[in-house]
Structure 1
């Protein structure tokens, strides 16, 4: 079996920042994994794709398979462009796709980006659809990153990601614990866009606002935050649970809303690091660049927040999905029931294309 893999990881998050592409090299030596991100780039969405992806959950049923195919071709074209730009020859592509629906209690999750189209347009083998098997086994279909955190970042107590949602993973009594903590950039970016900005650069807008403590307290009382064990969040939950609370505070201006949301997120994230007695937390994701959010988190935890090099901050999720693809190819467990709540640990990911030379 191969010991070195050169893989392209693709990630598109709920915050719609764009498609993160990372060319990663993985090496295994006596069961110990190491990695290098050798090239990486984010391709921003055009206005057309932003509108398409944002509106897709509300479109008629025939639009979904059509967009799934188109988006797969789009990703394939980006991979081809990326390989030409950096002169790369990857073994295969591992793609998360873009989440349109995620309702594990209803028994389904949908990430678009057709693997067949992606393989055909990139001319590379593809591993994709990492979440469906877990949901079929009764799990949350998330989080999937913890197995990568455990094997690639063993020196840290915990890994915290500040993306569309905030999520955390850590080991307790030899068992990996992981879950979504709260919304994050999915809401912060939305409010910033109401002010004509794609996001709140450095958290400056939030820092200039005034915190509404009543709103923060109402958000903190939501049922999700009282639940323990495997749990995950999706855009649907934001619409059905967060939006109604915010509508009750429609008089608040956008700056105060940003300040209040960051305070709420900081309290929830800090609370969970304290409950787990964490000492050193690796923090990645776009939220790292929001200084006001980071300040709120640090004020609510005694843990040391470690921010790595920019490349890892931005592309850790693409790196991890590339790694999940490697584990899938090796037929090794890449989803943990202890974090998703599924019936058993399992191997997830659908294969498209010719992998005969890699297995």
Structure 2
């Protein structure tokens, strides 16, 4: 079982995957457990905070409690899992500085569940000079083989932050030369959700409806693309708060125009990222909550020259792919296999991350 709580702070995804950490044999049931408004507010208060910040303990307790609820709910439907991949909640990410901070204790979860829990997936990569993100690329390579793709393609995840994985499914393993290239593209849902919360006290622009009625300010998009991040070569990664000036750039625009402009910024970041692909992809499969935003999908397709598809069209589950990825990675950790490589996180050599927590007997 894999669990994921993303930077959008909507809730916890949990999903079952049958795999040996190499080949995906099949997918099982999934569940989504939302955070309450009060819980989300506490989690927001911990964003950008490190382990010693006073806001973190209460937020970490929420992360553990809601994960426990989601996992328990899924176990009622299917009690077979022998291993749990627990990503935790990212509150801060500064791989070139303080490191990376995912709240939630795997040992606490293992003790409550009576199951082996693999957690803290990112720290080992960061300690060895990697970005610690994104970590789904090895799973994406397996997914490409699962759907029997026969040409290079891109997985585009639109969460709070956007990230891409270019994969060549003809390569035998994800760490093989020229098998994968992965990196964060730029902000995605996070600035849209933040603006909706700040201006309209709503958690998101449902379906992109308000953004669809707006007009993007391309001058703002051009200023956004001048950010130093877009001049860095991949692999590279972002924290949710790495573009703090973005809200001020749209403060004088109407709600609809501001949302459409932020949407255009996210799409333009994706288009800029595509320039780094080793060879042009034949298709772009979009996963994550952003694919439900019609304005964002429209902006991305407008700015790309290849087909942009909702990943659900392939039979994969775009809402659960991140959770499924950490189920897959948990098995790789348990088997001593690698979970990241120079072309996915910039780490010096292929490395296996993650800690294994085993329930302690009384």
- The equivalent of 2:127 in structure 1 is 136
User: Is structure 2 residue 345 aligned with structure 1 residue 349?
Assistant: no
| Structure 1 residues 245 and 89: CA distance shift in structure 2, 3 A | closer
User: Is structure 2 residue 160 aligned with structure 1 residue 170?
Assistant: no
Whole-angstrom CA distance in 1 between matches of 2:167 and 2:74: 36
Q: List per-residue Cα deviations over 1:18-38 (Å, max 9, x = no partner).
A: 10111222257xx6x124221
- The equivalent of 2:190 in structure 1 is 186
| Structure 1 residues 207 and 349: CA distance shift in structure 2, 3 A | same
Q: List per-residue Cα deviations over 1:263-310 (Å, max 9, x = no partner).
A: 122222123335532221221111111111111111111111232328
Single out whichever of 177-186 and 222-231 deviates more from structure 2.
222-231
| Structure 1 residues 81 and 34: CA distance shift in structure 2, 3 A | closer
| Structure 1 residues 285 and 66: CA distance shift in structure 2, 3 A | closer
CA shift at 1:238, angstroms?
Answer: 2.9
Unaligned runs of 5+ residues in structure 2 are 169-176
Unaligned runs of 5+ residues in structure 1 are 1-7
- The equivalent of 2:140 in structure 1 is 149
Indicate the structure with greater helix content: 1
Whole-angstrom CA distance in 2 between matches of 1:82 and 1:136: 34
Q: Tell me if structure 1 keeps the 8 A contact 2:4–2:86.
A: yes
Give the counterpart of 1:298 among 298, 301, 305. Answer: 301
CA shift at 1:47, angstroms?
Answer: 2.1
| Structure 1 residues 206 and 10: CA distance shift in structure 2, 3 A | same
- The equivalent of 2:60 in structure 1 is 68
Whole-angstrom CA distance in 2 between matches of 1:247 and 1:151: 41
Give the counterpart of 1:326 among 312, 331, 356. Answer: 331
Whole-angstrom CA distance in 1 between matches of 2:243 and 2:200: 20
Whole-angstrom CA distance in 2 between matches of 1:87 and 1:342: 37
Whole-angstrom CA distance in 1 between matches of 2:249 and 2:294: 28
Aligned partner of residue 53 in structure 2, secondary structure: coil
- The equivalent of 2:9 in structure 1 is 16
- The equivalent of 2:174 in structure 1 is none
CA shift at 1:253, angstroms?
Answer: 1.9
| Structure 1 residues 41 and 314: CA distance shift in structure 2, 3 A | same
Matches within 5 A, 1:181-260: 181-193=185-197, 194-239=199-244, 244-260=245-261
Whole-angstrom CA distance in 2 between matches of 1:352 and 1:73: 17
Whole-angstrom CA distance in 2 between matches of 1:180 and 1:354: 35
Q: Tell me if structure 2 keeps the 8 A contact 1:72–1:116.
A: no
Q: Tell me if structure 1 keeps the 8 A contact 2:225–2:269.
A: yes
Whole-angstrom CA distance in 2 between matches of 1:57 and 1:21: 22
Q: List per-residue Cα deviations over 1:154-193 (Å, max 9, x = no partner).
A: 3251211111111101147724211000111111111222
Q: TM-score, normalised by structure 1?
A: 0.88
CA shift at 1:83, angstroms?
Answer: 1.2
Q: Tell me if structure 2 keeps the 8 A contact 1:279–1:302.
A: no
Q: Tell me if structure 2 keeps the 8 A contact 1:102–1:236.
A: no
Q: List per-residue Cα deviations over 1:12-66 (Å, max 9, x = no partner).
A: 00011110111222257xx6x1242211121110123211211024777355346
Q: TM-score, normalised by structure 2?
A: 0.87
Q: List per-residue Cα deviations over 1:233-285 (Å, max 9, x = no partner).
A: 1023133xxxx243244211221111011112222212333553222122111
Q: Tell me if structure 2 keeps the 8 A contact 1:10–1:21.
A: yes
| Structure 1 residues 14 and 217: CA distance shift in structure 2, 3 A | same
- Structural RMSD (CA): 2.2
- The equivalent of 1:4 in structure 2 is none
| Structure 1 residues 285 and 90: CA distance shift in structure 2, 3 A | same
